[in-house]
């Protein structure tokens, strides 16, 4: 049974989320402040974290950064949950590397669908599967990426984007297809974050940044060798 940690200070909302996820067959852990939430995530290592941003003790962004710094939770999927409906807040959350972002009030059914989509993607590659292309090497089992044999630290979003393009070398990938490959759907907010993720990927690729080409009016591609 997959375990989901809910870090939410409003207990009625945490209970509502927990009720719906338990009914769908998930095991639930709860924390009502940021300090306890970060500790519980690191020590219990759930399959996914639903993280409110406005938390007492330590805010959600601080908790998220702590999880990404710790090897035990670096690749744990995170859905950010907040009352902040402004587009810029959603962009900030997605650009920070969150797997998804929901604003309150939300539909429990919508949250469940997003949880299922993320966990399905996380479990989509059983066994050690390696993809190699030029200087790139991916291990799909543990989400590790190597450049000229040296490990490069990519966020899960960066890893999925680069892998999706690398598995289709030389073929321009439409922006919407890229977005759906990572988040399962496409909208304006996610589209605005795509360019930021590509910019960061190019920075991490260093001398191999030219491996990612912008295809004007379409999207991006990884060059074929």
Give the Cα separation of 31 and 29 in Å (integer).
7
Considering 78, 100, 122, which residue would you say is the last residue of a domain? 122
- Backbone angles phi and psi of 71, in degrees to 5: -60, -30
pLDDT of residue 95: 75
Considering 63, 97, 122, which residue would you say is the last residue of a domain? 122
Indicate whether 116 and 198 sit together in one domain. no
pLDDT of residue 189: 67
Residue 64 to residues 48, 50, 73, 81, 205: CA-CA distances in angstroms? 12, 11, 10, 12, 24
Indicate whether 76 and 150 sit together in one domain. no
pTM for the model stands at 0.72
pLDDT of residue 86: 65
CATH classification of the domain holding 9: 3.40.50.2300
pLDDT of residue 15: 95
Task: Please list the pLDDT of the chain residue by residue as tens digits (225 residues).
Answer: 899 999 999 999 999 999 999 999 999 999 999 999 999 999 999 999 999 998 999 999 999 999 988 988 988 999 998 876 666 777 777 777 788 888 888 888 889 988 998 888 766 555 548 899 999 999 987 788 999 999 998 887 888 899 999 999 999 999 888 888 777 766 676 677 888 889 989 999 999 999 999 999 899 999 987
pLDDT of residue 105: 85
Domain that holds residue 184: 130-222
Indicate whether 11 and 78 sit together in one domain. yes
Given a contact cutoff of 8 angstroms between Cβ atoms, the answer to whether 143 and 134 are in contact is no
Residue 167 to residues 76, 119, 201: CA-CA distances in angstroms? 23, 21, 16
pLDDT of residue 39: 96
Give the Cα separation of 14 and 12 in Å (integer).
5
pLDDT of residue 12: 94
Indicate whether 166 and 208 sit together in one domain. yes
Give the Cα separation of 100 and 7 in Å (integer).
15
pLDDT of residue 181: 78
Considering 98, 122, 146, which residue would you say is the last residue of a domain? 122
pLDDT of residue 160: 87
Query: Both tokens of residue 73?
Result: 């939770």
Indicate whether 8 and 118 sit together in one domain. yes
pLDDT of residue 193: 80
Indicate whether 137 and 211 sit together in one domain. yes
Q: β-strand 100-103 against 78-82: which pairing, if any? A: parallel
- Report the domain count for the chain: 2
Give the Cα separation of 8 and 73 in Å (integer).
18
Q: Write out the H or E segment, with its range, that includes residue 105.
A: none
């Amino acid at each position: 049974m997959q375990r989901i940690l809910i870090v939410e200070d409003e207990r009625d909302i945490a209970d509502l989320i927990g009720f719906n996820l338990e009914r769908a067959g998930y095991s639930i852990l709860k924390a009502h402040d940021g300090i306890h939430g970060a500790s519980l995530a690191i020590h219990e290592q759930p399959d996914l974290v639903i993280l409110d941003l406005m938390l007492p003790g330590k805010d959600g962004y601080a908790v998220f950064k702590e999880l990404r710094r710790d090897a035990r939770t670096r690749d744990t999927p995170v859905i950010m949950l907040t009352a902040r409906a402004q587009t810029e807040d959603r962009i900030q959350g997605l650009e920070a590397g969150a797997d998804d972002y929901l604003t309150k009030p939300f539909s429990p059914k919508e949250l469940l669908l997003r949880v299922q989509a993320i966990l399905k993607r996380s479990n989509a590659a059983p066994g050690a599967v390696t993809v190699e292309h030029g200087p790139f090497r991916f291990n799909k089992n543990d989400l590790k990426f190597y450049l000229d044999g040296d490990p490069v630290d990519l966020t899960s979003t960066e890893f999925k984007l680069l892998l999706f393009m690398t598995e289709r070398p030389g073929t321009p990938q439409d922006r919407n297809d890229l977005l759906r490959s990572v988040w399962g759907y496409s909208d304006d907010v996610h589209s605005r974050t795509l360019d930021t993720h590509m910019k960061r990927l190019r920075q991490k690729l260093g001398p191999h940044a030219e491996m990612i080409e912008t295809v004007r009016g379409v999207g991006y591609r990884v060059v074929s060798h």
